[in-house]
Amino acid sequence: MRNGLINHLDLTVTDLARSSAFYDKVLGRLGYKRTSEYEGDVPCWELSTAESQFSVGLHKAKDPTPHNRYAVGLHHLAFHVSSRSEIDAFHEFLISEQVTILDAPAEYSYTPGYYALFFLDPDGMKLELVYEPRFASRMKNA
């Protein structure tokens, strides 16, 4: 495994049941598998490839202060997909699930061909799906 890759990300949420249902749908659609290997009552999803493993876990908030992406902490979390059409299909899926869309699929000038969709989780954390042509060949081989 390559040094420096992110191993896991744990998010704090107000309602574990509500957020677990949301992340079951969203992460499941991205290929993550729910796991029970994490100790305790932490819902967790893993994505494994031949070269890496990454997991997302949820913890119950002890302070119900709403998430503010402009305060110190997490601004947003972005997930790669391998095509623009996957983002478009995911957008339709999110609409059918009545998920709050911040920005519908569009091209951005961050890098050539950067195409992204932005939406919110149940606690207002900003999530992104992104397709970047510069990573497309690596994604298909993963």
- Where b means 16+ CB within 10 Å and e means fewer, 107-141 reads eeeeeeeebbbbbbbbbebbbbbbbbeeebeeeee
Query: Looking at the chain, which residues constitute the CATH 3.10.180.10 domain(s)?
Result: 1-62, 74-142
| Bridge-based pairing state of the strands 44-48 and 33-35 | antiparallel
Out of 3.30.390.30, 3.10.180.10, 3.30.1490.190, 3.90.180.10, which CATH number does the structure's domain 74-142 have?
3.10.180.10
Tell me which architecture the domain covering 1-62 has in CATH: Roll (3.10)
pLDDT in tens, the chain (142 residues): 677 888 899 999 999 999 999 999 999 999 999 997 666 778 999 999 877 889 999 999 999 888 999 999 999 999 999 999 999 999 999 999 999 999 999 999 999 999 999 999 999 999 999 999 998 766 554 5
| Confidence (pLDDT) at 3 | 78
Half-sphere exposure of 128 (CA within 13 A, CB side): 16
pTM equals 0.91
